[in-house]
């Protein structure tokens, strides 16, 4: 039996014309699609992921990163090692610029 999950992520940046860098405004993400053969209540409750939903959300985004890195390597944009380093540096940078504190807010991203 095949099952599918869909997650969406929307990144909002503030960019000033002529500058080569943008500042982070928000990142909205959530699980938003499931196979009909799954019980959505196992993964979502009141519009936010359950513990199982959070694990699936991380898996979907991780597989997306692996796919993007593989695609970039196949197209000669960057090698696999370079892609992994880039993702690692981005994660470190995002956490240092936006330390994890308080609670994350999951948003209904079906419109994203």
Place of tokens 């993964």: 43
Q: Is the pLDDT of residue 6 over 50?
A: yes
Residue 111 pLDDT: 41
Residue 102 pLDDT: 47
Percent of the chain with pLDDT over 70: 87
Q: What is the DSSP string of 8-72?
A: EEEEEEEE-TT-S-EEEEEEEEEEEEE-TTS-GGGTEETTEE-HHHHHHHHHHHHHHHHHHHHHH
CB 34 within 8 A of CB 5: yes
CB 56 within 8 A of CB 31: yes
What's the rounded mean pLDDT across residues 66-82? 97
Q: Is the pLDDT of residue 108 over 80?
A: no
Q: Is the pLDDT of residue 89 over 70?
A: yes
């Amino acid at each position: 039996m095949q099952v599918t999950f869909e997650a969406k992520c929307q990144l909002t940046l503030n960019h000033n014309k002529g500058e080569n860098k943008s500042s982070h405004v928000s990142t909205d993400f959530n699980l938003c699609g499931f196979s009909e053969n799954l019980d959505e209540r196992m993964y979502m409750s009141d519009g936010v992921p359950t513990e199982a939903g959070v694990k699936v959300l991380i898996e979907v985004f991780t597989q997306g990163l692996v796919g993007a890195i593989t695609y970039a390597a196949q197209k000669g944009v960057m090698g696999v090692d370079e892609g992994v380093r880039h993702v690692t540096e981005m994660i470190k940078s995002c956490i240092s610029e936006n330390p994890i504190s308080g609670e994350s807010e999951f948003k209904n991203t079906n419109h994203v």
